[in-house]
């Protein structure tokens, strides 16, 4: 049996679990890989920390770049993280040295993946990053292998477990955003600084990677429109439920249209609406498959290390594919067709003064911008405080509702920034 000699950079929860599994489940993994998987060296800050496995006969470095000096290392597993810095230097150095690379670094791949994939091809080695997207869901493998015979048209996903947990808890407990965020942080579902998650950046990294593979295109990260959940209110959660929807943060990409990460209302009977807690989901549509939906744990030591191990086995067995499913030279430049007729429905919430004539004023603005109201809710009365007006529209152009909202904000009766959320349905993006 041949031998695959491994160096692991980063022994956080994912790196430690990966190393532990290679050691403790070696017999099974080696049979599936068709090779003896051997950890030669690792890198982390603290050698003395208990990580659940023995470092005996494994070389330890505090500097991950030292792994590049080992001619006997065939594969570098990069689990440091970060778009640039030492992680990028390590991966570039490894590929240039003719070493395979497996990484879970979504930010690095979203920003530098195409150049790194080209570097891997030039040096006749593999660059694999299944663990960068959706944790335990084999989202990339499904695209590159199971759906390889399909022309994928649409990718829709719940791609951030932190946001999905927060929105799910707000729905079930009817609690405010900040309260649920604090609870998520205390349980370890959210970082001390949750900005990357709640501002949609993490989901956007993953969507950029998936859409590039799905469409065979170079998708610049800068081309994505990104809106997070920071502004969501328990009021919107409540009204969404009253209207027969639930609220999710979705990554949405369609061939020849700009990809976006945005809050969206989903009909309560849609499959994605039932994906709650920290779970992720990815939905692909194309020809001839029609549709394929995958649901599973999107983060954590176990799910993420599962994806890392799958990539290691593919490298060892010679089954690793091109990073993006095809050689980088065949990836097309992104072509975005700006369809003036592209339309969808919207949810619109206004905080207004409770005075006669306000509803007629708002209705006139909607009419002036050719916006047709599908439903309206006006609950309660207030002598000295605001009331909410909630509308859902029939399908319209995004520019039309944005223009209407700009006019509404100038009204003395509109007391806060209107909340506009797109309504997702299968036909909107197909």
SS3 of 216-259: the string is CEECCHHHCEECCCCCCCHHHHHHHHHCCEEEEEEEEEECCCCC
Closest by CA position to 319, among listed 173, 111, 135, 100 = 100
Q: What are 247's strand-pairing partners?
A: 265
Burial string for 81-104 (b: 16+ CB within 10 Å, else e) reads bebeebbbebbbbbbebebbbbbb
d(CA 243, CA 377): 9
Report yes or no: 165 and 327 within 8 Å, Cβ to Cβ.
no
Catalytic site residue 367? no
Q: Which long-range contacts (CB under 8 A, 24 or more apart) does 175-181 make?
A: 175/234, 176/233, 176/234, 177/229, 177/230, 177/232, 177/233, 177/234
Closest by CA position to 51, among listed 32, 71, 74, 79 = 79
d(CA 393, CA 391): 6
d(CA 21, CA 40): 15
Burial string for 117-134 (b: 16+ CB within 10 Å, else e) reads bbbbbebebbbbbbbbbb
CB atoms within 10 A of CB 269: 9
Tell me the DSSP string of 288-341.
TTEEEEEEEE-SSHHHHHHHHHHHHHHHHHT----TTSS-GGGPEEP-----TT
CB atoms within 10 A of CB 78: 28
Active-site annotation holder among 38, 99, 106, 206: 206
Q: Radius of gyration of the chain from Cα atoms?
A: 24
CB atoms within 10 A of CB 194: 20
d(CA 197, CA 250): 12
Q: How many helices (H) and strands (E) does the chain have?
A: 13, 18
- The residues annotated with a catalytic role in the active site are 206
């Amino acid at each position: 049996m041949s031998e695959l000699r491994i160096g692991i950079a980063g022994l956080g929860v994912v790196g430690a679990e990966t190393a532990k599994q290679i050691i403790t489940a070696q017999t099974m993994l080696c049979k599936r890989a068709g090779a003896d998987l051997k950890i030669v060296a690792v890198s982390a800050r603290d050698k003395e920390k208990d990580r659940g496995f023995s470092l005996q006969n494994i070389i330890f470095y505090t500097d991950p770049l030292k792994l590049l000096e080992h001619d006997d290392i065939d594969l570098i597993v990069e689990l440091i993280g970060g778009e640039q810095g030492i992680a990028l230097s390590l991966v570039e150095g490894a590929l240039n040295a003719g070493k395979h690379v497996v990484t879970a670094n979504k930010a690095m791949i979203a920003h530098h993946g195409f150049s790194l994939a080209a570097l891997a091809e030039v040096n006749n080695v593999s660059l694999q990053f299944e663990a960068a997207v959706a944790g335990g869901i084999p989202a990339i493998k499904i695209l590159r292998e199971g759906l390889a015979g399909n022309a994928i048209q649409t990718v829709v996903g719940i791609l951030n477990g932190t946001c999905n947990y927060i929105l799910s808890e707000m729905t079930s407990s009817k609690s405010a955003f900040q309260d649920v965020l604090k609870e998520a942080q205390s349980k370890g579902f959210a970082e001390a600084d949750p900005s990357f998650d709640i501002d949609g950046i993490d989901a956007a990294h993953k969507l950029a990677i998936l859409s590039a593979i799905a469409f065979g295109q170079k998708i610049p990260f800068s081309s994505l429109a990104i809106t997070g959940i920071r502004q969501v209110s328990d009021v919107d959660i409540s009204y969404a439920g009253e209207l027969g929807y639930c609220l999710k943060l979705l990554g949405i990409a369609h061939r020849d249209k700009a990809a976006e990460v945005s809050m969206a209302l989903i009909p309560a009977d849609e499959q994605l609406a039932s994906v709650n807690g920290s779970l992720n989901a990815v939905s692909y549509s194309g020809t001839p498959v029609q549709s394929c939906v995958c649901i599973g744990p999107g983060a954590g030591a176990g799910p993420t290390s599962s994806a890392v191990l799958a990539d290691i086995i593919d490298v060892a067995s010679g089954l690793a594919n091109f990073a993006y499913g095809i050689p980088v030279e065949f990836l097309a430049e992104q072509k975005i067709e700006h369809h003036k007729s592209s339309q969808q429905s919207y949810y619109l919430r206004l905080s207004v003064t409770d005075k006669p004539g306000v509803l007629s004023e708002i209705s006139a603005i909607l009419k002036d911008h050719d916006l047709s109201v599908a439903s309206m809710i006006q609950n309660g009365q207030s002598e000295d405080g605001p009331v909410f007006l909630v509308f859902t529209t029939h399908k319209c152009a995004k520019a039309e509702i944005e223009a209407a909202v700009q006019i509404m904000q100038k009204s003395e009766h509109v007391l806060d920034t209107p909340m506009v959320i797109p309504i997702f349905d299968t036909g909107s993006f197909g």
